[in-house]
Amino acid sequence: LTGYAHWGTGSEAQAGLAIDLPDKLLGFLEVLEAHDANYDVWYDILNTGFRLTPTAGTDYGSVPSLPGRERFYTEVKGPFSYEAWLDGIRQGKTFVTNGPVLEFRVQSQEMGAEVLLKKPTSVLVEASVRFDPSQDDVKRLEVIQNGDLLRSFPREGKSPEIRCRFEAEISETSWLAVRASGHKR
């Protein structure tokens, strides 16, 4: 399993992306590092039709951050093993976070799944973010389509979660993602 750290924005990485992506040599891209999320490169890659799993890391020791604060979670099917964990990453069954827990489904399919539609139609989108309000001031839950904001759902009151459920019209080949925005306390 190979990929790029630091959002793939270093000069060597940018040149490498153009070579490694078409040859299917990459499995992941670090999109959250040291309290900075940079989704633009990942979104651009997805918009070219390549699937690349998002990951995260703290880069602790070289930048001011707490070890393990930026991380990613991977859904593992069956008994936990290193190989099962790698398979989850290969299948795109991850989310990046610095605390909040994300859930996302399209047509009842979970993160990383591909939903094949025979014609333009609407799909059921369900998403949530859960968090500890004493640690995270999450303001919004956002659903992204092809790099653009599709829908945004604000936090209501002091709730420790934001949920959404809606029908989205899909008229062309698309990818969907969910993200939460706010700040650490």
Each residue of 126-178: pLDDT tens digit? 999 999 999 999 999 999 999 999 999 999 999 999 999 999 999 999 999 99
Q: Mention every residue, 6+ apart, whose C-beta is less than 8 A from residue 64.
A: 34
pLDDT digits (tens, 9 = 90+) for 60-71: 666 667 777 899
Q: What is the percent of the chain with per-residue pLDDT over 70, rounded to a whole number?
A: 93
For the chain, report the end-to-end CA distance as a whole number of angstroms: 34
Mean pLDDT taken over the chain: 91
- 3-state SS, 5-27, equals CHHHCCHHHHHHHHHHCCCCCCC
- CA 72, chain centre distance (Å): 9
Least confident of 50-64, 76-90, 101-115, 157-171: 50-64
Per-residue exposure over 151-175, b if at least 16 CB sit within 10 Å of its own CB, e if not: eebebeeeeebbebeeebebeeebe
Q: Does 118 have pLDDT greater than 80?
A: yes
Give the H/E segment covering residue 104.
Answer: strand 101-106
Mean pLDDT of 27-38: 86
Q: What is the pTM of this model?
A: 0.91
Q: Does 89 have pLDDT greater than 90?
A: yes
Give the span between the Cα atoms of 144 and 72, in whole angstroms: 19
Q: Are strands 121-130 and 101-106 parallel, antiparallel or unpaired?
A: antiparallel
Q: Give 115's pLDDT tier (boundaries 50, 70, 90).
A: very high
